[in-house]
Amino acid sequence: MLQRLPLALAAIALPLALRQAFLVAPAEQKMGVVQRIFYFHVPSAMMAFLGVGLCAVLSALYLWRRDRRLDVAAEAAAELGVLFCTIVLITGPLWARPVWGVYWTGEVRLTSTLILWLLFVGYLLLRGQAGADRDATARFAAIVAIVGALDVPIIYKSVEWWRGLHPKVLKVSGGGGLDPAMGRSLLVCSLAFLLLFAALFLERLRLGRLALEVSALEDRAARIEEGGGAHA
């Protein structure tokens, strides 16, 4: 029952987030209505970083403990990292086109985000290889995850380290910075996305553990069959 709680809370929070983004938050002074993508773009980036960071931590723990449950959790986190990073890479160009006049530029934040996505898509492709040695694949994937996560601080600090078009702050009529109503709307949307992340992670974790149990039963059945054949 408790496992379903984040899903129920997310189902409540997501409509509230939509209300905050489209009805409560004021329009940005220069960008107008298109800026409302911000309330989904930024929380998606946060969840992408959370998924990647969680995957890296769980991967490091797996290399230390060799517990396959940690490996399953790392893979689940990676899948969510890729999911939310994909949303970032879709909403970003949709926001950029009417503001910058182009869907994509070669600035560091965009390029490094794409690199992060490619690294973890590669991670998932590596995990999906049929017939590969499971333990060897898990170890190699763990190293890829830890190295790939090093891209996150580069993405986060890129606007400060390199000049680019990507905005640092947003302006509203009569002031500067982030309007308090915008800040509250962003907080609501971020909490909604966090609840969605938790719900999806717990569900994916449950499926992964079931797959582990099935795999253990298959290995046990194979050993029994081999033992029976040797006895005969």
pLDDT tens profile 99-145:
888 888 878 889 999 999 999 999 999 988 856 688 899 999 999 99
Confidence at residue 165, expressed as pLDDT on a 0 to 100 scale: 60
- Among 2.40.50, 1.10.3210, 1.20.120, 2.60.120, what is the CATH number of 2-203? 1.20.120
Q: Looking at per-residue confidence, does 132 or 88 come out higher?
A: 88
Count of alpha carbons within 13 angstroms of residue 199, beta-carbon side: 18
Q: Which two tokens stand for residue 62?
A: 């797996």
Q: Which two tokens stand for residue 47?
A: 């969840």
The H-assigned helical ranges of the chain are 5-19, 38-65, 68-100, 108-127, 134-149, 151-161, 180-231
**152-163 CB burial, b ≥16 within 10 A, e <16:** bebbeebbeeee
Per-residue pLDDT for 4 more than 50?
yes
Q: How far is CA 30 from CA 99, 101, 135, 212, in A?
A: 9, 14, 53, 52
Confidence at residue 171, expressed as pLDDT on a 0 to 100 scale: 46
Domain boundaries, the chain: 2-203
Select, from the ranges 21-30, 100-109, 191-200, 216-225, the one with the highest average predicted confidence (pLDDT). Answer: 191-200
Output the average pLDDT for the chain.
Answer: 87
Strand partners, 169: none
Contacts (Cβ under 8 Å, ≥6 apart) of 16 = 188, 192
Q: Which two tokens stand for residue 173?
A: 């009529």
Confidence at residue 187, expressed as pLDDT on a 0 to 100 scale: 94
Per-residue pLDDT for 188 more than 50?
yes
What would the pLDDT profile of 138-168 be if each residue is shown by its tens digit?
999 999 999 999 999 999 888 777 766 666 5
Cα–Cα–Cα angle for 105, 106, 107, nearest 5°? 95
Confidence of residue 169 (pLDDT cuts 50, 70, 90): very low
Give backbone dihedrals phi and psi of 28, rounded to 5 degrees, phi first. Answer: -70, 145
C-alpha 81/C-alpha 200 separation (Å) is 11
Per-residue pLDDT for 172 more than 60?
no
Specify whether the CB–CB gap between 204 and 54 falls below 8 A. no
